[in-house]
Structure 1
Amino acid sequence: MLRDYVKTIKNVMVTKRILYLFVIIFFLCFSGTDPSRESQFRLKTVVIDPGHGGKDPGNLGTGKFKTYEKDVVLAISLKLGKYISENYDDINVIYTRQKDEFIGLKERADIANKNKADIFICIHANSNKSSAPYGTNTFVMGLNKTQANLELSKRENASILMEDDYVTKYEGYDPNSPEADIIFSLYQNAYLDQSLEFAAMVQKQFKNRAKRKDRGVKQAGFLVLHQTTMPSILVETGFLTNKEEEKFLNSENGQDYLASAIYRAFKDYKTVMEGTLPANFSPNEPMQIVDGIIFRVQIVTSSNAISLDSPKFNGITNVQEYVSGGWFKYTAGEKRDLASAYRLQVEVREKGFSSAFVVAFHNGERINLQDAIKMVK
């Protein structure tokens, strides 16, 4: 009788183990996990850098207002940080300054680097000898390609002259020297692709939502961007030397518009760079195959053309080139549906292109990814 009892107990234990194993297999097979929703990257830390401050007022504007560039950009920066913090509990927003104080350019970059920021957003306001120019620019780090960009970077970099022992700190760099630009000709930016992408998103929001004149995405030799080790942009929010734009930049409404525009660009950038399907998108949701709409995975941006069979692409096949804003950009694959494109993105990232992201084309022209999603849903 005891033997029968022991046998029964053993059978029950075996049955439980089999049932447990079955449950595990069931969930593994039918849980609906989609690799396109997996991500190797989460944007966790943002550093916002209000330009100038303290003894460095920045540009003085027309003189009509009692505020200077340092005051305007601080107000916009704090509003931008508030937008991000209120909408993303999991993102750490760090400011290089939150009051009227002088912070050196290197110290600003050090704050971003030490906190391992995922994005660096530098906020400024423009000026010109003429009162006519107006509109917004967003800059990425690079060689000054025009005299206007050179003059602008000289003005912004000149704040180092207010720093103690700047000659030693910046290894002899003099923003007023004709040879100063040489340092930037040797600069290699590992984050150029992401910086350009974010910059374009900011300009789009300025134009479409804030209704500002779009002066485009440009390169210039800004020291503060040169020192950072993450995707970085410098935003010129408008001209304080233009009377109408100065009025807009000094208004609460104008500052809100600009801050919210940068925030919306940040939101789009976060979605693209994290490489996850939009929260409201289901891989099982029926999607139209729209003629002319294709999705690719962008992997490299270069100032020079790269052979499509170059070993730099690490064995990735079906590499294609397109040119945008004077840059050569390279993509992998060609998918008609979004879910397949995101699965390809996972594969491309596993090949070493950790910041690759999905882009959309309509009849061969690059379009906004969100616009493409609306067209195929």
Structure 2
Amino acid sequence: MKSKFIFQLFLFIVVALSNSLVSEVYSQKKFVVVLDAGHGGKDPGNRGNGYKEADIALKIILKIGVELEKDQNIKVIYTRKKNVFVELRERAAIANRADANLFVSVHCDAFTNNAYGAGTFVLGLHKSKANFEIAKKENEVIFLEDNYKETYAGFDPSAPESLIGMTLMQEEYLDQSILLATLVQNNFTNTLKRKNRSVKQAGFWVLHNTYMPSVLIETGFLTNKKEGAYLNSKKGQTDMAKEIAKAILSYRSSLSLATENSKNPVIEENEIVEAIENGEEKIYEGITFKVQLAASSKDLELKPFNFKGLKELSRNKEGGLFKYYYGDTSDYNKIQLMKTFAREKGYSTCYIVAFKENKKIKLTEVLQTED
């Protein structure tokens, strides 16, 4: 019996030490960022003003990596570090295999007029023809891949209906993706004084297949003479890379802060307000969107101190419960940002609801009507 007790005690100590070591290893797990330089190899990207998008994107990505690797708690993985062709599906697969925390893809834009400015995209259905054209252009690289018809199961970059099913996989990460995109755009606008082309949604295949928060950054237009020269310069590439890296570091720090103290918001209210004011609209006429915060039998006073500092509050009584809401808008992009802010304030289970003529309707039915 004594030997059995000693053996059981030994097992207990081994298990305890193992659990301790596992906890320590888990707590020390690095924050993994996959950096994706768009195009490459047989796909040079756009050639506005004679510049090569693939080369500029790679230089910016490598500079981002240098900045991030200064932090020993961050692990950087590149989809490419030289001028080689990488299939879209493989770019996403690299991030998924690494169980990455973030996926960041960098590109340069082009247009027929003298457009300029930087924009950051998250996955979603196109709101405008311009957004669709950008996504179509980036997605058409699949035609350079072997067996693309089998690989992409009939996906047609030229057909808007092909994009409808793409948003579902990334929906879980949309809040975090919008947060990172907002931080990137704020840095571009406030620090570098670049024209803000805002946070937008469009159907990019490379974002669709990733299982983590993901953004695609269009750093500017090579077709614009002044902006193209800036992006082709060492200074321009360094500037853009540093601000993207700073946004990633801010995002990571914000997540750590939220984990340590759930009452601390990831982003400040003024940042959300700025993002809303500068963002692209997605208006649904006759529809009112709200963020449902909670349901309670208590009739709470609609004051910020009762709702973690949130304003723009309302309530409805349904059955024996009071439903409490944040926001009131026909702009779906705006309500998504407000949901992000509410979650960071501590309402982790809040969600968007839709009303038509003061009656609640299914959100999915509203979104399906988008042109």
Q: TM-score, normalised by structure 1?
A: 0.66
**Alpha-carbon separation, structure 2, partners of 1:43 and 1:272:** 15
Paired residues of 1:134 and 1:245 also in contact (CA < 8 A): yes
Aligned partner of 1:110 in structure 2 is 93
Aligned partner of 2:39 in structure 1 is 52
2:126 maps to 1:147: no
Unaligned runs of 5+ in 1: 1-38, 284-291, 296-302, 312-316, 334-340, 354-377
**Alpha-carbon separation, structure 2, partners of 1:134 and 1:92:** 33
Aligned partner of 1:252 in structure 2 is 234
Going from structure 1 to structure 2, the CA distance change for 1:330 and 1:185 (only over 3 Å counts) comes to closer
Aligned partner of 1:215 in structure 2 is 197
Runs (4+) of structure 1 exceeding 3 A deviation are 39-43, 184-188, 303-311, 317-320, 322-325, 330-333
- Aligned residue type for 2:334: G
Count residues in correspondence: 275
Paired residues of 1:320 and 1:331 also in contact (CA < 8 A): no
2:125 maps to 1:122: no
Paired residues of 2:104 and 2:215 also in contact (CA < 8 A): yes
Alignment RMSD, CA only?
3.4
Paired residues of 1:41 and 1:274 also in contact (CA < 8 A): no
Paired residues of 1:153 and 1:221 also in contact (CA < 8 A): yes
Aligned partner of 2:326 in structure 1 is 321
2:216 maps to 1:234: yes
Alignment of 1:265-344 (within 5 A): 265-275=247-257, 305-309=290-294, 318=307, 320-322=325-327, 325-328=333-336, 329-330=338-339
User: 78, 82, 107: which is aligned to 1:95?
Assistant: 78
**Alpha-carbon separation, structure 2, partners of 1:125 and 1:218:** 15
**Alpha-carbon separation, structure 2, partners of 1:310 and 1:128:** 48
Q: TM-score, normalised by structure 2?
A: 0.67
**Alpha-carbon separation, structure 2, partners of 1:193 and 1:237:** 22
SS at match of 2:157: coil
Paired residues of 1:51 and 1:124 also in contact (CA < 8 A): yes
- Aligned residue type for 1:164: D
- Aligned residue type for 1:44: F
- Aligned residue type for 2:339: Y
Q: Which has the larger displacement, 184-193 or 133-142?
A: 184-193
Aligned partner of 1:137 in structure 2 is 119
Going from structure 1 to structure 2, the CA distance change for 1:188 and 1:252 (only over 3 Å counts) comes to closer
Can you list the C-alpha shifts for 1:32-62, whole angstroms capped at 9, x where unaligned? Answer: xxxxxxx999761000000000000110112
User: 79, 83, 95: which is aligned to 2:67?
Assistant: 83
The percent of aligned pairs where both chains have the same amino acid is 42
Going from structure 1 to structure 2, the CA distance change for 1:170 and 1:41 (only over 3 Å counts) comes to farther
* Greater RCO (CA < 8 Å, at least 6 residues apart): 1
Paired residues of 1:320 and 1:330 also in contact (CA < 8 A): no
